[in-house]
Amino acid sequence: MTRIALLIGAVATLFISASAHAQVGTATVSGPVTGGVRGAPFGAMSADALSDARYIEREYFFEGTATSYSRLGVWTADGFWGVTPATTADYKVRMLVRRPASAKDFNGIVVVEWLNVTALQEGAADFSQMQEEILREGYVWVGIGAQAAGVNTPGIGLKAWDPVRYGTLVHPGDRFSYDIFSQAAKAIQFPQGISPVGLPIGTMLATGRSQSAFRLVTYLNAFHPIVDLFDGFLIHSRGRTAAGLIAEGLAADPVPIPPNAHLRTDLDVPVLDVQTEGDMTALRSHLTRQAPHALYRRWEIAGAAHAETPRWIVEVPPPLDFGPGCLFAVNAAPHHAVVKAALRALTLWVTRGVTPPQSPDIELSNPTAFPPAIVRDAFGNAKGGIRLPELEVPTAVLDGRINVAAPPPPPQNFCSLFGGTVPFTDAVLEELYPNHGSFVSQFNEAVQAIVREGYWLEPEAKEARRAAAHSGIGKK
């Protein structure tokens, strides 16, 4: 694979002032961690997948004293948020590192993901969508367990999952999560003793999806101006609110965070804000829209949901997926293809100064309604936004509807986030695509367009073209 060309060394060195990162406490790193009841890290990649990609995976613990923070001044929706130190507590949590086995395959960029704990376990929600791009382009990926639920949840948290391996971990609560994330970043970029990455780092990016994006909004607005540890941010599938400074998880702080919060406009690093149609319907993220500026761009993916079971081509058979016990078939849009392109776009923006496009907005007829009224075409697909080939040459309705759990509802489900898929009838398909060739040619033109616009990469385009060619659309 052709690597993203980078200047590593003096030109690409992080210009972080000593006074900035010196304000962050120094964590002690230990590892690589081995052993335990299960003999592997929670969330580990398979040995075969790592070998095929010529990657290695290592888990480290890091520990120290973290600081919680209180608001300084009045917070408003503009994102100019001040903080002041409050209390301190000791902690010990983990980071999971995936890196090229050979230094020559490293592209110089570390992607640091704030692991998602909405399911009360540490999930690599962004890595799951970026994986192919990370591995083929030689990134290092580091997942940070910054939040308490991933460690402490009875029955399923790390300490319960493998009490031998993780029994010494200590998380004092999410009010300390922001400083823990900063201390992890400092330990990666400026190792004292053990180096978790073990390679010369040129650029460091932060990413987080869903609940983790809520946290990164607050981190970027309140903490990045103080600590200045990252060269760019990918904010993925946030909602209308940001995370609080005090409460656990998604709970509200005693003094609510300003709704519809924007990202502050005095940013000194690029930020790419990626949102789906489903983020607007379920999480009202459209209320956070702000104008692009020199270091901010927003992408909105029409037809995509907050979560999905993706396909390149929707046709039945095979049967559609109903996700975590949902009443309707869940969204099948290839959301992940845009996320991979977003990582590439952010990388080029940070390393070469190539500013990505601002996508069109998804069209709304009533943004104040809940869910917001989205302008739809004759088939029921959203207008505006990034135009997936699956919407431009449709075989189904793909939307971000608020799905519901099928009765009886399971104890925990996130169906409201999974959107929906309604395949077209055979009669509609025959009218649209009288033969297979007409479908394939139209679909390939739409693929070419989205690649040209920068919202898909060629490897995903190739897969989509192959799927169209092998589909049964137009063959009946």
Let me know: does 395 contact 404? Beta carbons within 8 Å.
no
- Annotate 211-234 with b (16+ C-beta within 10 A) or e (fewer): bbbbbbbbbbbbbbbbbbbbbbbb
Let me know if 426 is exposed, middle or buried by CB neighbors in 10 A (0-12, 13-18, 19+).
exposed
Cβ neighbors of 263 (< 8 A, separation 6 or more) are: 79, 217, 220, 221, 235, 271, 273, 290, 296
pLDDT at position 109 is 98
End-to-end Cα spacing for the chain: 38
Q: Is the pLDDT of residue 20 over 90?
A: no
Summarised one tens digit per residue, pLDDT across range 289-341 is 999 999 999 999 999 999 999 999 999 999 999 999 999 999 999 999 999 99
- CA dist 338 and 131 (Å) reads 13
What are residue 269's phi and psi, to 5 degrees? -135, 155
- CA dist 11 and 31 (Å) reads 31
Let me know: does 222 contact 81? Beta carbons within 8 Å.
yes
Summarised one tens digit per residue, pLDDT across range 245-290 is 999 998 989 989 999 999 999 999 999 999 999 999 999 999 999 9
Summarised one tens digit per residue, pLDDT across range 53-90 is 999 999 999 999 999 999 999 999 999 999 999 999 99
Summarised one tens digit per residue, pLDDT across range 412-456 is 678 999 999 999 999 999 999 999 999 999 999 999 999 999 999
For residue 108, the Cα-to-chain-centroid distance in whole angstroms is 20
Give one word for 53, left, alpha or beta, with left for phi > 0 and alpha for psi -120 to 50. Answer: alpha
Q: What is the CA radius of gyration of the chain?
A: 22
Q: Is the pLDDT of residue 8 over 70?
A: no
* Residue 305 identity: A
- CA dist 474 and 476 (Å) reads 6
Local confidence band at 21 (pLDDT 50, 70, 90 cut-offs): low
For residue 285, the Cα-to-chain-centroid distance in whole angstroms is 15
- CA dist 416 and 307 (Å) reads 9
Let me know: does 374 contact 280? Beta carbons within 8 Å.
yes
C-alpha distances in Å from residue 78, one per residue of 212, 222, 262: 20, 11, 5
Let me know if 410 is exposed, middle or buried by CB neighbors in 10 A (0-12, 13-18, 19+).
exposed
- CA dist 292 and 274 (Å) reads 13
- Prediction pTM value: 0.94
Let me know: does 232 contact 295? Beta carbons within 8 Å.
no
Nearest alpha carbon to residue 82 among 97, 72, 67: 72
What are residue 417's phi and psi, to 5 degrees? -100, -5
pLDDT at position 410 is 64
Average pLDDT, the chain: 93
Local confidence band at 407 (pLDDT 50, 70, 90 cut-offs): confident
- CA dist 65 and 150 (Å) reads 19
Tally of CB atoms within 10 A around 249: 17
Please state the rounded mean pLDDT for residues 346-357: 98
**How many helices and strands in the chain, by DSSP H and E?**
15, 13
Q: Residue 297 is inside which H or E element, if any? A: strand 296-301
* Residue 433 identity: Y
Let me know if 460 is exposed, middle or buried by CB neighbors in 10 A (0-12, 13-18, 19+).
buried
Summarised one tens digit per residue, pLDDT across range 84-109 is 999 999 999 999 999 999 999 999 99
Kindly give the residue spans of alpha helices, DSSP state H, lying in 199-254: 211-218, 224-227
Q: 315-320 contacts: CB < 8 A, separation 24 or more?
A: 315/395, 315/423, 315/471, 315/472, 315/473, 316/423, 320/421, 320/423
Percentage of the chain surpassing pLDDT 90? 90
Nearest alpha carbon to residue 361 among 296, 255, 475, 276: 276
- CA dist 205 and 186 (Å) reads 13
